Amino acid sequence: MRISDRLAAKQTFSFEIFPPKGDLPIDQALKVASELAADDPDWISVTFSAGGSGNSANTVSVSGAIERDTGTTALAHLTCLGSSREAVDLYLDALEEQGVTNVLALRGDRAPGKEVIDFAYASDLIAYIKDTRPEFCVGAACYPEGHFECDDFETSLEHLKIKQDAGADFFVTQLFFDNELYYRFREGCARWRIKTPVVCGIMPFTSVKQIQRMAFTCGATIPSRVIRKIVACGDDEDAQLEAGIEYACDQLVDLAENGVDGIHIYTMNRPEIGRAARRVLVGCNYLEA
């Protein structure tokens, strides 16, 4: 199933998981995927060495198993910084062999040893896949607060328009904790004539440490009401997780009421997060029971 077809037909609900690192067995990720599949998502996406985790080799096998074993559409991530066209071809061949034809085309973060070979930006990768593999549906990343390397918000939108023009079929947002920032971004997209569907990515906070990491790695604004909520939990980690899920669920209800194209949950491989999101989205009639 092409994700773009699904987005054209309905408001979507989807999950992200990450595969295990290196040679670790993939069974745990598959168990998570099958539990998440029970919540009937439109697709499950699988990250590619996110945060330098070195788990890219397992992205293909986990994505293939999602399609085969759970009957759910898989969206395989792919980064291109430091990759040649040949390496991208091999990756796409491997995906096709596994029956996976939805890919999230990313540049990836700059890191030592990751120089530009054939692709400088995600838009180069998008154009390459659209040109050489028309059978693939190609998604891309977008940033409601602008990308942290980009000097200003309008330039970030200009770069997003380049991704649309390169052929991106849909966008998935970076996580955000303040829906108003997303609505401002949506207005910006309209100004730049960006009409490609945008799926909102929501990640519940799970601990003080995780929220600090998010602020530094992706530049997400942490509203004071998030800080108040987490501080009220003291050192109780279960209470912090519960508060994070509750806050994310409030965000979901608000997004559902404001008519978004799709909702994507960064589950951090925790099926209980997916279940809570489904429950609240059924409660507000975004999803059918």
Point out which residues bind ligand FAD (CB under 6 A). Answer: 47-50, 77, 79, 104, 106-109, 121-123, 141, 147, 149-150, 156, 159, 162-163, 172, 174, 201
List C-alpha distances in Å: 13 to 149, 232, 244: 29, 31, 19
Name the token pair of 113: 């040893």
- Could you tell me the smallest distance in angstroms from the CB atom of residue 49 to ligand FAD? 5
Which residue is listed with tokens 């154009």? 127
Which residue is listed with tokens 């040649």? 84
Verify whether residue 16 is a known catalytic residue: yes
Q: Which is nearer to ligand FAD, 172 or 181 (CB)?
A: 172
Count of Cβ atoms closer than 10 Å to residue 113 Cβ: 5
- Could you tell me the smallest distance in angstroms from the CB atom of residue 239 to ligand FAD? 28
Q: Which is nearer to ligand FAD, 148 or 183 (CB)?
A: 148
Dihedral, CA of residue 158, residue 161, residue 163 and residue 168, to nearest 10: 160
Spatial separation of the C-alpha atoms in residues 289 and 281, rounded to whole Å: 9
Q: Which helix (H) or strand (E) holds 279?
A: helix 271-283
Q: Which is nearer to ligand FAD, 70 or 79 (CB)?
A: 79
Spatial separation of the C-alpha atoms in residues 148 and 1, rounded to whole Å: 33
Of 21, 92, 102, 91, the C-alpha closest to 66 is 102
Would you list the DSSP string of 209-267?
HHHHHHHHHH-----HHHHHHHHTTTT-HHHHHHHHHHHHHHHHHHHHHTT-SEEEEE-
Dihedral, CA of residue 193, residue 195, residue 199 and residue 200, to nearest 10: 30
Q: Which is nearer to ligand FAD, 122 or 276 (CB)?
A: 122
- Could you tell me the smallest distance in angstroms from the CB atom of residue 285 to ligand FAD? 26
Q: Which is nearer to ligand FAD, 165 or 237 (CB)?
A: 165
Spatial separation of the C-alpha atoms in residues 79 and 106, rounded to whole Å: 5
Cβ-contact 236, 243 below 8 angstroms: no
Q: Which is nearer to ligand FAD, 121 or 183 (CB)?
A: 121
Q: Which residues are catalytic?
A: 16
